Each structure stands twice: as C-alpha cells, then as structure tokens.
Amino acid sequence: MVENRPWLTFLSHAVLIFGAVVVAFPLYVTFIASTLSFEQISQVPMQLWPGGHFVENYRQVLSAGTTQGSKAAVGTMLFNSFVMASSIAIGKIAISIIASFAIVYFRFPLRNFFFWMIFVTLMLPVEVRIIPTFKVASDLGLLDSYVGLTLPLIASATATFLFRQFFLTIPEELAEASRIDGAGPMRFFFDVVLPLSKTSIAALFVIQFIYGWNQYLWPLLVTGQESMYTIVIGIKRMIVGGDAANEWHLVMATAMLAMLPPAVVVILMQKWFVKGLVETEK
Amino acid sequence: MEKRVVFRSAWLPYLLLAPQIAVTIVFFFWPAAQAVWYSFLLQDAFGSSTQFVWFENYQSLLTDSHYYDAFKVTALFSVLVAGLGILLSLVLAVMADRVVRGALAYKTLLIWPYAVAAAVAGVLWGFMFAPSIGIVTYVLKGMGIDWDWLIKGDQAMLLVVMAAVWKQISYNFLFFLAGLQSVPRSLIEAAAIDGAGPARRFRDIVFPLLSPTTFFLLVVNIVYAFFDTFGIIDATTQGGPAGATQLLVYKVYYDGVKAADLGGSSAQSVILMFIVIALTVIQFRFVEKKVNY
C-alpha cells in the first residue's frame, strides 16, 4: 500500500464483495433448487431459502437419474467422469514427461522435426476436427469405451512445453554428476528428474483433471450407452422438454454433483492450481 | 537454450517419444488430413456415392448467407465475451491487488467458476433465465422487461455471453493479479511522491505495464469464445433462435453430425483451422516482441 486512502479501500472491498456475490449467485440458486420438490420449484418466483428435499433429491439422482427423462444413475456418471478425468491427467503427464525428457536430454536425428510436430498440435482444438476424429475412433472400435473417452485427448503440447521449460532449468551439474557416477539416462530420469518435477506434476495434474472432467463435445460423440455417460453429458440428457416440464430440482442436484469435485480440487489445491494455470499458458 | 550435457542412445529417445507421437499422428494429423480431404468431396444424401468436387464445398460456403451469419454471430460473441470478460476481471484484480485484509478469501471466492464445465454453466444460467420459471426472469418481468430467449435472438445472445463471461472471469482475474503483483513497487511509490493519484498511476504506469498480459488474454479469450463455449451453446440455445447464437464451431458440429453434410462441415473445419493457426501465430509474434512501452 503506497498511501492510506480509506475511501478507496472501502470502494475496493465493496466492488470485490459485489463481484463475489454476483459470481456466487448462480451457485446459490442451484443449491437451493436442488433442495426443493417439483411443486416448489415450479412456483414462480422460486423460493430462495432451502427446502426440505435435499436427501431425497440427491438419493434419487445418484441411484436412478430423473424420473421423466434420462434414467441413467448419476452415481455411475460420477464414476465415469472420475475415470476419464484421472486417466486424461495421468496419461497426459506420463507421455509428455518422457517426450520432453527425450527432447531435452538427447541429441538425435529428427529431434527438431518431432518437437515441431508436437508444437503444431497446440493450435488444433478437438472442436475443429470433430468428425474425422470421431471416424478414426469408430474405425478403431473405441466407441463407448474408456479408452475412446480418454486416448484421443491425451496428447498435449502444453504439458510437453511445461516440462521442457522446467527441464531446461535443472542445473547441468546434476546430469554431469550422474554420468560420472555411471548412471544411465533412465536411472537419471527416475532418481533425479522425476523427484525434481513433483511440483510441476502436481500443478499440471490439477489443470488437466479439470480439463478432463469438463470435457463435453468429445464424450457426447463417443458415448452412446447410458452406462458410459459422463456427468456433464448426463445433465444435458436430463433436459428434455420445455423449460417448465423439466425436473429442474433433479437437474440442479446433478449440476451440484458435477461442479463439486473440480471445485474442491481448485479450492484445496489453490496454490498448485494457480501455478499450473499461469505456467502452462506462458 | 540447449543442454550441454546429453545422453547418447540410438533408440531410447525414439522410444520415449513414441507414445506422444503415436497419439498425435492418429488423433491429430490423420483426422486433420482427413478433414482437408473430405472438404473436397461431395456425398449424396444416403452416403452411397462420393464425388471429388475440388473447391465446390468452399464455393457453396462462400455463397451461403447462413455461413456469413455464423461468422458475424461469432465475431460479435467473441468481441463481447473477450471485452466484457477482460474489463470486469481487470476491475476486480485491481481492487484485489489493493486490499490487504481478506485478499485470499476474495481470490478463492472469485476463482472457483473456472472449475465449472461450460455445459453446466449453460444449464445454470439457462435455468436462472428460463422464460417461464426463471428467478431472474421474474425480476425482469417485474421491471417491465419481456424476457424470453427462446424467441428473442438478442436476449439469447446476451444469455450465452453472460454465461461465457462468468466462466472466464476467474481465469483473466488470476492472470491480471499476477501481472499487477509484478509491477515494481518503486515505480508506484515514485509516482506517488511526484503527486500522481491512484487513477493517474493506473493510467500512466500500471496499465502500460499490464499490456503484455492484456494482449495475451485477448487472444486466449477469443480462442475461448470461438471453441470452448460449445457446451454453453449446446446446453442452452443450440444455435437458436433462428441462428442468432449459431457460432462457427456449433455449425461445424450441427452440419456434420446432425445434418450429415460431411463435405460442407469439413470445409468449415478447415477454415476454422486456418483461423486458429492465424491466432496462434499472432500470439507468438507479439509475445516474442512484447507489447510494451
């Protein structure tokens, strides 16, 4: 603080509180809606204090979905989302850490070519090549499987870059000492590089877990059976009719369940989340 | 920057790169090549015969007024999302940078929407603004505003913009806060001693020093508005009413998956790929040069 300006400090707090309230309002409405009965939620205006159907609604969606629309159990969807998000995060980290290790610690023909090949994929979001990618997945028989959900999203230029940046800051002396002591490249990788990369891995895991959990278009295309739905797809499938006909109380309970795991990850691992976000994008 | 000390092996580096390269070829390069190939093909309605038609798909796109409309809608949408998102988060970040007490609490309260999936954000906002039972709709009706985004195009656009901005504020906020915290205190203090007030200091010192961050966020937000908002659109308006919120990426999906127009959808994919590549090149050009004073 350069100088004391009480009025400006007051204004700052006022703006921040207002901002936080506006940002939180949709969450509050969602939570309230998830505790109401169908009759309560159909009333205009909807009440803004919790109703008494919290346990009932959550039990219903977790075991049997909605009663009118999709009857897929949200419990299964949560499991699918969890498998998908963790596999994408772990897979991305695993394949890109060894790829960047090869690029940084070896000299070999076509090294730059491979580097650029990975670099170019930074520019191609899955949305622009939806249909051909879908065809490839379907030709390989990957539809309605966990492999199909995760494998196509696992190649990540950002993770490769982050690790490359990080490896370049590891002191030369460490590699030198390892070589003098007779350690091979893989020994060096497991005993020196991997332990040093812990924080980068944690940061990346948070970002990629959220990325995986929130995927929408790809699971929408690859999953046909209800048993393979992820929760984000499941919500969309619950919205069937006109806006008053939907069982909004159940949809909102599902929305709460869909938001909870990634939000908990962001809040509990805030330090790593911020680190991962700022570093992967720079 | 290169390492001086390296390991030697004729096969190990290739083995280490193999998984990444394999996935990249199978799920990036091959589909991208296919998209280019399909964009030169014309399939009949039953998919039984395919013809090579050179640039016919592109020609019909360029003469299609719906495609121009999707371009205009996407341009408007991304300008609104990037502009509003950057402006609001800059204000919040400047305020959060000022306060000492409760800074961490504010940060936590503002960053969690990053964790919400685009489709879920769409559902939340769609519910609050639902024409018949929405809580905000009720308030708006009380104020004499006839709200029904299922019918009115501009309201549908407003709804998806709000949902998209809401989701993106946390991201911009964190980058602005990091940028603000790296502004040297000595500069601010020197200006304060010279008699510059907070507003003047922001205009002449802080904002210019933030320009690389702002530019970076501008490109990221445009890419976000172009592609990552697919879930919001699909969960709320689905491109309607009458194409008022039909973004380019939604049209690729709709034409390819729902309308089964393989060639047309692929041609749109190829055009989008060029847009993404152009944005990325601009990004790297400017990041290298640093937009700074």
Q: pLDDT tens digit string along B6-37?
A: 788 888 989 999 999 998 888 888 888 888 88
**Separation of first and last alpha carbons in chain B:** 27
Q: Is A29 in Cβ contact with B276 (below 8 Å)?
A: no
Asked if residue A98 has pLDDT above 90, the reply is yes
Q: Are the C-beta atoms of residues A203 and A255 closer than 8 Å to each other?
A: no
Q: Which of A70-74, A234-238, B50-54 has the lowest mean pLDDT?
A: B50-54
pTM of the predicted protein model: 0.88
Cα–chain center distance at B204: 29
Whole-angstrom Cα distance, residue A259 to residue B130? Answer: 20
Q: Is A8 in Cβ contact with B124 (below 8 Å)?
A: no
**Structure token pair of residue A12:** 């700052």
Interface test with A, best of B2, B8, B17 (most A CBs within 10 A): B17
Q: What is the pLDDT of residue A1?
A: 53
Q: Are the C-beta atoms of residues A255 and A26 closer than 8 Å to each other?
A: no
Give, to the nearest 10 degrees, the angle between helix B30-38 and helix A130-139: 120
Average pLDDT in chain B: 84
Whole-angstrom Cα distance, residue B55 to residue B271? Answer: 12
Interface test with A, best of B120, B202, B255 (most A CBs within 10 A): B120
Phi, psi of A79 (to 5 degrees): -60, -45
Cα–Cα nearest to A81, from A268, A271, A257: A257
Q: Are the C-beta atoms of residues B262 and B43 closer than 8 Å to each other?
A: yes
**Structure token pair of residue A180:** 């003098």
Confidence at B292, pLDDT banded by 50, 70, 90: very low
Tens of pLDDT along A117-146? 887 777 677 767 778 888 888 888 888 889
Q: Where are the domains of chain B?
A: 62-289
Of B88, B115, B175, the CB nearest to A210: B115
Measured between beta carbons, the chain A residues lying within 8 angstroms of B126 are: 243
- b/e per residue A261-277 (b: at least 16 CB within 10 A): bbbebbeebbebbbbbb
Measured between beta carbons, the chain A residues lying within 8 angstroms of B135 are: 29, 45-46, 48
Measured between beta carbons, the chain A residues lying within 8 angstroms of B138 are: 44-46
Q: What is the pLDDT of residue B108?
A: 87
Asked if residue A26 has pLDDT above 60, the reply is yes
For tokens 């905000």, the residue is: B136
Whole-angstrom Cα distance, residue B83 to residue A208? Answer: 27
Mean pLDDT of B237-251: 83
- Amino acid at position A220, single letter: L
Please, which residues 74-93 of chain B have a Cβ atom closer than 8 Å to chain A? 88, 91-92
State how far residue A117 is from chain B, nearest Cα, in angstroms.
Answer: 8
Chain A contact present for B280, CB below 8 A: yes
Of B116, B235, B269, the CB nearest to A129: B269
Interface test with B, best of A110, A118, A128 (most B CBs within 10 A): A128
Of A15, A103, A127, the CB nearest to B230: A127
State how far residue B66 is from chain A, nearest Cα, in angstroms.
Answer: 19
Q: Where are the domains of chain A?
A: 66-280
Asked if residue B166 has pLDDT above 90, the reply is yes
Q: Are the C-beta atoms of residues A216 and A230 closer than 8 Å to each other?
A: no
Of B27, B98, B128, the CB nearest to A12: B98
Reported residue count of chain A is 282
Cα–Cα nearest to B122, from A71, A67, A255: A255
Confidence at B2, pLDDT banded by 50, 70, 90: confident
Cα–Cα nearest to B273, from B67, B62, B64, B34: B34
Chain A contact present for B17, CB below 8 A: yes
Whole-angstrom Cα distance, residue A236 to residue A173? Answer: 54
Q: Is A82 exposed, middle or buried (0-12, 13-18, 19+ CB in 10 A)?
A: middle
Chain A contact present for B30, CB below 8 A: yes
- Helical (H) or strand (E) element with B52: strand B50-52
Strand partners, B51: B42
* Nearest-by-CA chain B residue for A159: B20
Q: What is the pLDDT of residue B172?
A: 92
Q: Are the C-beta atoms of residues B153 and B161 closer than 8 Å to each other?
A: no
Handedness of CA B192, B197, B198, B204 (dihedral sign): negative
- Cα distances from A25 to residues A64, A133, B122, B124, B166, in angstroms, run 28, 38, 14, 10, 11
Asked if residue B291 has pLDDT above 90, the reply is no
Q: What is the CATH number of domain B62-289?
A: 1.10.3720.10
Longest dimension (CA), chain A: 76
* Nearest-by-CA chain A residue for B32: A129
Q: Name the 3-class secondary structure at A236.
A: helix
State how far residue A70 is from chain B, nearest Cα, in angstroms.
Answer: 15
* Nearest-by-CA chain B residue for A176: B5
Handedness of CA A105, A111, A113, A117 (dihedral sign): negative
CATH architecture, range A66-280: Orthogonal Bundle (1.10)
**Structure token pair of residue A72:** 């897929």
Contacts of A170 (CB under 8 A, 6+ apart): A192, A193, A196
Q: Are the C-beta atoms of residues A155 and B286 closer than 8 Å to each other?
A: no
Interface test with B, best of A12, A38, A110, A129 (most B CBs within 10 A): A129
The torsion angle over the Cα atoms of residues B131, B135, B141 and B146, rounded to 10 degrees, is -30
| Residue-by-residue DSSP string for B55-74 | THHHHHHHT-HHHHHHHHHH
Q: What is the pLDDT of residue B238?
A: 83
Q: Are the C-beta atoms of residues B239 and B245 closer than 8 Å to each other?
A: yes
Q: Name the 3-class secondary structure at B51.
A: strand
Which ipTM was obtained for this model? 0.86
State how far residue A238 is from chain B, nearest Cα, in angstroms.
Answer: 11
Q: Is B110 in Cβ contact with A20 (below 8 Å)?
A: yes
Q: What is the pLDDT of residue B143?
A: 85
Cα–Cα nearest to B269, from B51, B96, B41, B81: B41
Tens of pLDDT along A33-43? 888 887 787 77
Measured between beta carbons, the chain A residues lying within 8 angstroms of B100 are: 1
Q: Is B253 in Cβ contact with A130 (below 8 Å)?
A: yes
Interface test with B, best of A131, A151, A170 (most B CBs within 10 A): A131
